[in-house]
A and B are shown apart, each in its own frame.
Chain A
Amino acid sequence: MTDTAKGPAGGRSKPPPNHGAPMMRRTARWLDRRLGAADFARTALNKVFPDHWSFMIGELALYCFIVLVVTGTYLAFFFQASTRQVVYHGVYKPLQGVHMSAAYKSAIDISFKVRAGLVMRQIHHWAALLFLASIVVHLARVFFTGAFRRPREINWMVGVTLLILAIFNGFAGYSLLDDQLSGTGLRIGYGIALSVPVIGTWIASLFFGGEFPGADIIGRLYVIHILIIPVLIGLLVATHLAILVRHKHTQFRGPGRKENNVVGERLWPTYAAKALGLLFLTASLLCLLGGLFQINPIWVFGPFNPAQVSAASQPDWYMGWLDGALRIMPGWETRLFGFELPNPFFPGALLGGATFALLYAWPFLEARVTRDHDEHHLLDRPRQRPVRTALGVATLSFYSVCFLGAASDVVASTFHVSVNRVLITLRLGVFLVPIIAAWATYRLCRELSDRDGLPVQSGVTFGQIGHRLRRSEADDEAGAEADTG
């Protein structure tokens, strides 16, 4: 057996005849001598990916994350996460001589003094908004095509965790600046923590280091925002992609496509080139937004003062559903065992918890109801799953109504209507709109799949859901045997 490094000390074997790209070959050989990865790399290069456009939405989220890390690293060199009080003496005249925290001052300096600081700040914030929008659209795509079914339940849960981490990191990020708008948001967060039964005051005190606002929260959010969550997101994204590669990507039905194959393009060169190109295009859009559209003008909002507030105080869009639920909830409060259950607990911690619990549990709930525990690598068209699609649309419309609630005062003043009537309408809407949306979606799916002659999968009706959640297939069979036996 010969090995590659033969002959006198350090001698090389003869190079192969040159054709193709000599530089690439030399590099590949150099790396292989040190990593021995030629075979593995070859398998990787030839991996097949179906390249339907809707499969690229998850990538958008990844590319937004890359832009976030790059711009965020730049910003971290200039930002000071300190609540030490300073006096501003800088370029922006309307804040001359104003007392503010060092954190706010450093953000003002980034916006006015550091060259390219403002555009980096704005690209970073727009990237955060689009990071979350991409995750949500990607989640919807995975949901409506049934890509979360076995064997992908773990990856689904990894994805839901990524959504939670992204929401929290966005909130932490814009709260770092200690401006009036984000400080109001922190106050609301503190109040929601307080509302948790039994341990609420402890959660609030431990997180903030005492009563609101305290001097610790900015520093703590900084550690969470630039270290803890980005590392977790990085690890989970790597896990998400690794599982995806292990399973191979799902695909839509079509000619030649079966459960036991993948039809598409090879990773190298075309798929990789498209992915790289999309990275640059995403970065391009984020730079365009960051340069042309002003976002979060903290110099107008002013430094945070716990006794002050501005009209039109909203969180960033991805927290709108939570803030809207708080507004829509009527002023009911109740007691438990003689203790107070404050009003914000229900639309706050409880709704939030229930939302994510349901998201995590969905693949298992659906498997139990449809009694389908097989592996699936072929995707559903949404119209072939009228019940799932209808429930998904109903859920999206519920959160959309809550989301509209967060904008209630802006809607009222923009359209010259009473904010009270807007909220009363939304109180009704939060129940009626999902029901109507579910009904209309169900009918539409049945219509479309009938028209296209597509079979409806699984054949579970709304009426059977309750029974099937309570009793598994085994229970039913045991019951049938008991009857006939």
Chain B
Amino acid sequence: MSNEQARAESRATVFFAISAVASIGLAITYWQGGQPQLEGVLLAVITGGIGFAIVSWAKHAMPHDLVTEERDTVASTDDEVEAFSADLERGVEGIGRRRALLVAAGSAITAFGAALLFPIRSLGPRPGAGLKSTPYAGRHKRVVTADGKPVTPSDLATDGVVTVWPEGHTDAADSPTLLIRTRKSQKFKARKGREDWRVGDIVAYSKLCTHVGCPVGLYQAQKGLLLCPCHQSTFNVLDGARPVFGPAARSLPQLPLGLNDDGEIIARGDFSGPVGPGFWDRDRH
């Protein structure tokens, strides 16, 4: 055994020993209740000790002769392929001419495959009106916070924002709505036909971004901008939540607001359009 090999083997022995000790350490750590950093480092020492031992041994104490092996072309000879084809076609000679048989067999297999796909239909319901309407549709409903409490205009300070849902539907994922009170000094431009959709300075928009549906959670009060943190779509609250930057191409749908007899804020109907991301037939009925 040469010097190099001897050194390598003693190094490997030391590494293996360290690894064994670390295993004991891991067992003790676990028995004592565990601790993530210790567990990770000890595991690293255990596996690393074995790894360094083996590699050290392989690099310095194992044979390293360079060897040459012949490599044939991957492709077989024409004769071999011919012989294989002949065997493969045994029993089906002339199949190419039996058109009706081939067509029938192909149809059977295709139909079987298609039939097997049918259970996929059970995975989910037909995409329906749910994508184009929210529980706000229909008769007027109060808007409520996540705790179910109704909102009066005085609950919302200037520059204030609160997330609300239609009453009774605080778990509806398509209905989160932003109530925002803009400043009197901020000039609000109502969309055509929506002049009476606000209550004072309070305006309501869908919270779901029209890009891919993230909640548009960032209200920048000073500028009157809503920013979506997912892809930085930016909407101008003072102009019907029109997109002014980023990948969103459509305004956030607006909710028509009103007041009931108790002075609480209500929704007088569904949003101005389907909420959330776009899809093929979004503006078809």
Contact = CB atoms under 8 A, between A and B. Distances in A.
Q: Do chains A and B touch in the complex (CB under 8 A)?
A: yes
B214 A313 contact: yes
B176 A408 contact: no
A415 B130 CA distance: 43
Contacts of B43: 119, 123, 283-284, 287, 290-291
B68 A375 contact: no
Contacts of A269: 58, 62-63
Contact of A262 (B34, B69, B126): B69
B171 to A, nearest CB: 9
Contact of B44 (A285, A326, A333, A341): A285
A159 B70 CA distance: 26
Contacts of A198: 280
B66 interface: yes
Nearest to B41: A291
Size band of the A side of the interface?
A: 35 or more
Contacts of B176: 306-307
B173 A213 contact: yes
A327 B123 contact: no
Interface in A75-133: 115-116, 118-119, 122-123
Given A197-B280, A277-B54, A333-B278, A284 B218 contact: no
Interface string B10-44: 00000000000000000000100110111111011
Nearest to A406: B231
Contacts of A342: 249, 277-279, 282
Say whether chain B's binding surface is mostly helix, strand, loop, or mixed: loop
Contact of A330 (B39, B173, B247, B282): B247
B185 interface: no
A329 interface: yes
Contacts of B68: 48, 256, 261-263
Given A279-B51, A280-B50, A344-B277, A292 B40 contact: yes
B71 A248 contact: yes
B278 A194 contact: yes
Contacts of B246: 327, 331, 423
B188 interface: no
Contacts of B36: 116, 118-119, 122, 291
Contacts of A423: 232, 246
Nearest to A337: B280
A341 to B, nearest CB: 8
A207 B213 CA distance: 17
Nearest to B216: A309
Among A46, A287, A329, A423, residue most surrounded by chain B Cβ atoms (within 10 Å): A287
Given A188-B212, A273-B57, A332 B249 contact: yes
B124 A288 contact: no
B243 interface: yes
10 contacts: A184-B214, A207-B123, A256-B68, A264-B67, A266-B67, A277-B55, A307-B163, A308-B215, A312-B229, A344-B278
Given A209-B123, A260-B71, 13 more contacts: A118-B36, A123-B43, A187-B213, A248-B69, A270-B63, A274-B59, A279-B51, A287-B46, A313-B230, A340-B278, A342-B249, A344-B278, A409-B232
